[in-house]
Amino acid sequence: MIRYAYSGKGFEPFEPAIGKYDREFLVSLLWSMMRIRMVQEEMERRYREDEMKTPIHLVIGQEATSVGCCAALERKDQVFSGHRTNGNYLAKGGDLKAMMSELYCRANGCVASRGGSMHLLDKEAGYAGSSGIVAGSLPIATGAALAARMLKQDWATMVFFGDAATEEGTLWESLNYAALRELPVIYVCENNFFSVCSPLEARQPKVEIYEKAASFGLHSVQVDGTNVLEVYETARSAVERARSGKGPTFIESLAYRWRGHGGAGDDSDTGYRDPAEVEHWKQYCPIEGFYNFLAKRGQIDEPGRNALVKQIQNEVLKAFEHAISSPVPEESDLFKHVYSD
Ligand SMILES: Cc1ncc(C[n+]2csc(CCOP(=O)(O)OP(=O)(O)O)c2C)c(N)n1
């Protein structure tokens, strides 16, 4: 079985008018996806050394959702995530070195080694936090959007979560409240069809997730989460809606997770999904697809791509070296940052 959306419609071809974008912007989208992928691949390789004392949830295959959505935001806008944080954090401009230090439990980690990969934070970049509790960030993000309204601030809030979050009551309560109050919030469901090893069809009746959300009275759409420009254009109009007081948007972005639920490597050999399905989805690699799209239109060529690879490789290796050579926290600091005044 090959999973698409329940409607079985597959992905509509999406051909944006490329002339409206400048080359620099298009290449920045490609760079951002490549950077996330290369960070993930290096993390996966090093995870096997057992020095990174944190659970990890890789986003390989799902990069276009983070990058397309965050490209529509400004720095002042606030982003929240669930447990699969890395793509969202990096796409929003979160500090890579601070993230790697966090994963290696170093004192200079982005939350001072208290959180690990599931609990990242970069206030400067507008990455407002994440939660390992499925759907846990939904009410917090909804509250942040309410705060923006009450404080008369013009930031938009965006929250990322997986398809399993749509099995939690708190998600529907959040949508209900945001729709009622027309809050400036964008809900992004990264539907990769699985909750750990349970496929969507074993967990939910066959109604598309974005249609359920629409029934709460919010603007709700489904996008091809392997197509960064389609995601970007959808997110941009959602941000415009939020900023102009037109209320929340729900975006269901369909993309496949190429690796196992957690840790390094693919876990398909445990039998919960067909390895042929994983291979099938690799045809829709968001990075290869976008590179080919740009190359065909003369926006980048092979030497251009190689230069990006080199630059990213260099940055990634430096970030790992920085983390590994940083000090671990002092025992005497154990209770720091635990309580707030
Ligand atoms: C409230 C709650 N229930 C169960 C879990 C255990 N759990 C951790 S991740 C996960 C699956 C999440 O799937 P999804 O939200 O679709 O995100 P994905 O991992 O596919 O990105 C579950 C059930 C949890 N962390 N929180």
Contact 336, 59 (CB under 8 A): no
Give yes or no for residue 4 having a pLDDT over 60.
no
pLDDT tens digit string along 156-205?
999 999 999 999 999 999 999 999 999 999 999 999 999 999 999 999 99
pLDDT score for 16:
80
How far is ligand 1, taken at its centre, from the CA of residue 65, in Å? 18
pLDDT score for 92:
98
Mutate to test the pocket of ligand 1, among 40, 195, 257, 281 (most ligand atoms within 8 A of CB): 195
Give yes or no for residue 340 having a pLDDT over 90.
no
Indicate the residue type of 86: N
Nearest residue by C-alpha to atom 6 in ligand 1: 134
pLDDT score for 336:
86
Q: Which atom of ligand 1 is nearest to the CA of 195?
A: 13
pLDDT tens digit string along 96-124?
999 999 999 999 999 999 999 999 999 99
How far is ligand 1, taken at its centre, from the CA of residue 319, in Å? 28
**The two structure tokens encoding residue 22:** 């400048």
pLDDT tens digit string along 42-86?
999 999 999 998 999 999 999 999 999 999 999 999 999 999 999
Nearest residue by C-alpha to atom 5 in ligand 1: 134
pLDDT tens digit string along 46-56?
999 999 989 99
How far is ligand 1, taken at its centre, from the CA of residue 92, in Å? 22
pLDDT tens digit string along 238-287?
999 999 999 999 999 999 999 999 999 999 999 999 998 899 889 889 99
Give the pocket of ligand 1 (CB within 6 Å): 83-84, 132-134, 162-165, 190, 192, 194-196, 261
Residue keyed to tokens 């490789």: 313
Q: Is 32 exposed, middle or buried (0-12, 13-18, 19+ CB in 10 A)?
A: buried
pLDDT score for 13:
64
Contact 156, 184 (CB under 8 A): yes
Give yes or no for residue 317 having a pLDDT over 90.
yes
Give yes or no for residue 130 having a pLDDT over 60.
yes
Work out the mean pLDDT of the chain and round it to a whole number.
Answer: 94
pLDDT score for 98:
98
Q: How far, in Å, CA of 329 to CA of 54, rounded?
A: 15
Domains of the chain (ranges, CATH numbers): 22-326 (3.40.50.970)
Among the ranges given (17-21, 141-145, 156-160, 199-203), the one the predictor scored with the smallest mean pLDDT = 17-21
Nearest residue by C-alpha to atom 7 in ligand 1: 134
pLDDT tens digit string along 281-304?
898 899 999 999 999 999 999 999
pLDDT band, residue 37 (cuts 50/70/90): very high
Nearest residue by C-alpha to atom 4 in ligand 1: 134
How far is ligand 1, taken at its centre, from the CA of residue 167, in Å? 10
Q: Which atom of ligand 1 is nearest to the CA of 194?
A: 20
Q: How far, in Å, CA of 102 to CA of 294, rounded?
A: 35
pLDDT band, residue 17 (cuts 50/70/90): confident
pLDDT score for 11:
54
Mean pLDDT of 205-214: 95
Q: From residue 183, how far is each of 26, 120, 159, 162, 245 by CA, in Å?
A: 30, 25, 13, 21, 8
How far is ligand 1, taken at its centre, from the CA of residue 324, in Å? 29
